[in-house]
Amino acid sequence: MSSPRLGVGLVGAGEIARAGHLPAYGANQQTVELRGVFDVVSSKRETLAESAGVPAVEEIEHLLEDPAIDLVDIAVPPKAQPDIVVAALESGKHVLAQKPLAVDLQTAAELVALAEARGRVLAVNQQMRWAPAILEFQRFADGRSVEWASFDLVWPIERGEGLPRWLADAPRFVGLFNSIHFLDTSRWLFGEPREVRAWMGPADIPGIAGEAALYAIVGFDGLSVIIRDSRRLEGRHTASLRAATSDSLFFAHLGIWDAYPDPSPDSVVEAVAGSAPKLARTPASWVPDAFSRSLGEVVEAIGAGRQPVVSGQDNLKTLRLVDACYESAERHGRPVSFPGQL
């Protein structure tokens, strides 16, 4: 590192950079310092850079060549991300990429191999692992044997208007760009799955090319995780995590989908045999608090000379699970197994 604090260059100046990335730098100000912002849209980079009090960089090469920048934090559409990852790694920078690392597994694997060859950290910001509801669930599950868990999201969309074109035109929609959170977090909580069965809702939302929903049963040793992730008109809006042990229930409302990207805190209910149910509202929100914890873990790993828990290598396992969901759906829910290969 060029100074006691890790110098960060931000590539991408959209809404999530404002809502999630800038606050994450502030929360980690003892260990990181934002030193430049680049975006292909000059007005965006200048506005965000001014609000952060850092330079707006007119050419990405200038940011990558800056010796004061140690880590490149990328917040751009997925198809644009791999070329930036390559350029940053070849410039000797560490990289914090966004999910999905790439829209296809082969490209993602090539990025991971390049990072290993260059001796740089490549991390993927799968920040749901640090969402308040997930932290509360980990506390709840500690010392208990979880029998089943479920992620349930219904966020109806009538038409594709209002979505960015890169998302509306993508051949894969719900599974690759949203269910990936639930799949990755399931791995984080329960280890590597043994099999998955999945079904996809049809591509029937006007103006959206990809599937409208993903339904999956992910089998782990000793329990199953059920995922319903839908943009279809199938009931009222809901976003939750549920789980059960032999004598207790856990329910969390996931506030991130209340008004993304400025969400509400999560709400948690715990019911244990012999006790009255407990209701709590978390003091933190997924955005920006989970972003802050994710960044903090990556910075700590770089300082310690180790791989972060959200390393590119680990993320390949999540992408393989995403691919397995699409493969199972193509086979109308037949199981796809991966003993030992995840």
How would you write the pLDDT of the chain (342 residues) with one tens digit per residue?
Answer: 445 899 999 999 999 999 999 999 999 999 999 999 999 999 999 999 999 999 999 999 999 999 999 999 999 999 999 999 999 999 999 999 999 999 999 999 999 999 999 999 999 999 999 999 999 999 999 999 999 999 999 999 999 998 999 999 999 999 999 999 999 999 999 999 999 999 999 999 999 999 999 999 999 999 999 999 999 988 788 999 999 999 999 999 999 988 887 778 999 999 999 999 999 999 999 999 999 999 999 999 999 999 999 999 999 999 999 999 999 999 999 999 986 544
| pLDDT confidence of residue 338 | 82
| pLDDT confidence of residue 340 | 53
Q: What are phi and psi of 32, to 5 degrees?
A: -135, 155
CA distances, 301 to each of 76, 120, 121, 216, 296 (Å): 23, 11, 9, 33, 9
Sheet holding 278-281, edge to edge: 278-281, 267-272, 248-253, 238-244, 148-154, 223-230, 213-220, 195-201, 336-337
Q: For helices 105-118 and 312-330, what crossing angle results, to 10°? A: 170
What is the 3-state secondary structure of 49-94? HHHHCCCECCCHHHHHHCCCCCEEEECCCHHHHHHHHHHHHHCCCE
Sheet holding 94-97, edge to edge: 32-38, 6-11, 71-74, 94-97, 122-124
Residue 43 parent element (H or E): helix 42-52
CA gap 125, 308 in Å, rounded: 11
114 and 86 in contact (C-beta within 8 Å)? yes
Look up the pTM and report it.
0.96
60 and 38 in contact (C-beta within 8 Å)? yes
Q: What angle do CA 171, 152, 262 make, to 5 degrees?
A: 80
User: Which residues are within 8 A (CB) of 189 and not within 5 positions of it... i.e. 6 or more apart?
Assistant: 134, 137, 138, 141, 149
22 and 51 in contact (C-beta within 8 Å)? yes
171 and 210 in contact (C-beta within 8 Å)? yes
How crowded is residue 145: how many other Cβ atoms within 10 Å of its Cβ? Answer: 9
User: Which residues are within 8 A (CB) of 297 and not within 5 positions of it... i.e. 6 or more apart?
Assistant: 130, 308, 309, 310
| pLDDT confidence of residue 262 | 78
User: Which residues are within 8 A (CB) of 306 and not within 5 positions of it... i.e. 6 or more apart?
Assistant: none
